[in-house]
Amino acid sequence: MNAQDRGGGADERPVPTATVRIGDLSPLVAAAIGVLAVWAALGVGHLVAGLLSAASSPLLAVGDMVIRLSPEPLTEFAKNTFGTNDKLVLLASMFVVITLVGAGAGLLSRERPNTGVWAIAAMGGLGAAAVYFSPVYAELDLVAPGMAMLAGIGVFRWLHHLGVRARQPVAPAVEGVSRRKVLASGSLAVGLGALASAGVGTLVVRDVQGSRAEVTAQLGRATYAERALPVPGAAAFPQLGTPTFLTANRDFYRIDTALRIPTLAAADWQLRIHGMVARELTVSFADLIGRPLVERPITLTCVSNRVGGHLVSTANFIGVPLRDILLEVGVDPAADQLFSQSTEGWYTGTPTSVVMEPGRGALLAVGMNGEALPPEHGFPVRMVVPGLYGFVSGTKWVVDLEATTFLNPFRQGFWFEHGWSRFGPIKTMSRIDAPQDSETVTADTVVVAGVAWAQHTGIAKVEVRVDGGPWQPATLSDEVSIDTWRMWNLDLPLPGGDHTAEVRATDKSGYAQTEQRAEVIPNGATGWPSVRFTVG
Tens digits of per-residue pLDDT, 29-67? 899 999 999 998 988 888 888 778 777 888 888 988 888
- 388 or 21, which is more confident? 388
Phi, psi values for residue 35, rounded to 5°: -65, -50
> What does the pLDDT average to over 388-406?
97
pLDDT of residue 474: 98
pLDDT of residue 10: 44
For the chain, the helix, strand and coil percentages under 3-state DSSP, each to the nearest 5: 40, 25, 35
Dihedral sign for Cα atoms in the order 387, 365, 485, 443: positive
Residue by residue, DSSP assigns 35-49 as HHHHHHHHHHHHHHH
Of residues 294 and 21, more confidently modeled: 294
This prediction's pTM? 0.78
Q: Please tell me the distance from the alpha carbon of residue 150 to that of residue 155, in angstroms, as a whole number.
A: 8
Separation between Cα atoms, residue 347 and residue 316, nearest integer Å: 25
Domain spans, the chain? 27-205, 226-417, 429-535
Average the pLDDT over 197-221 and give the result. Answer: 74
Residues 6+ apart with CB under 8 A from 494: 445, 446, 466, 535
pLDDT, mean of residues 470-494:
97
Report the C-alpha gap between 134 and 365 in whole angstroms.
26
Residues listed for the chain:
536
- What is the Rg, in whole angstroms, of the alpha carbon atoms belonging to the chain? 31
Q: Which residue has the higher pLDDT, 128 or 11?
A: 128
Distance separating alpha carbons of residues 34 and 29, to the nearest angstrom: 9
Quickly state the pLDDT bin for 213 (edges 50, 70, 90).
very high
Asked if pLDDT for residue 414 goes beyond 80, the answer is yes
* CATH (residue range 429-535): 2.60.40.650
pLDDT band (50, 70, 90) for residue 177: very low
3-state secondary structure of 263: coil
Residue 84 and residue 255 in contact, taking contact as beta carbons nearer than 8 Å = yes
Residue 213 CA, distance from chain mean position: 23
Q: 3-class DSSP state for residue 450? A: strand
Cα within 13 Å of Cα(237), Cβ side: 24
Task: Name the residue among 293, 292, 284 with its Cα closest to residue 318.
Answer: 293
Query: Residue 424 in 3-state DSSP?
Result: coil
Q: Is the pLDDT of residue 16 over 50?
A: no
Asked if the peptide bond before residue 522 counts as cis, ω within 30 degrees of 0, the response is yes
Q: Can you give 494-527 as a three-state secondary structure string?
A: CCCEEEEEEEEEEECCCCECCCCCECCCCCCCEC
User: Is the pLDDT at 169 greater than 50, yes or no?
Assistant: yes
Chain-centroid distance of CA 510 in Å reads 36
Question: Left, alpha or beta for 467 (phi > 0: left; psi -120 to 50: alpha)?
Answer: left
Task: Check: CB of residue 127 under 8 Å from CB of residue 45.
Answer: yes
* Cis bond upstream, residue 292 (ω within 30): no
Q: Round to whole Å and give the CA distance between 326 and 338.
A: 10
pLDDT the model gives residue 388:
98
User: Is a pLDDT exceeding 80 seen at residue 440?
Assistant: yes
**pLDDT for res 67:** 83
Cα distance between residue 239 and residue 186, in whole Å: 57
Q: What's the CATH number for 226-417?
A: 3.90.420.10
Residue 196 φ then ψ, to 5°: -65, -45
Same topology, domains 226-417 and 429-535? Answer is no
As a whole number, mean pLDDT of residues 497-506 equals: 97
- How much of the chain, in percent, has pLDDT values that exceed 70? 88
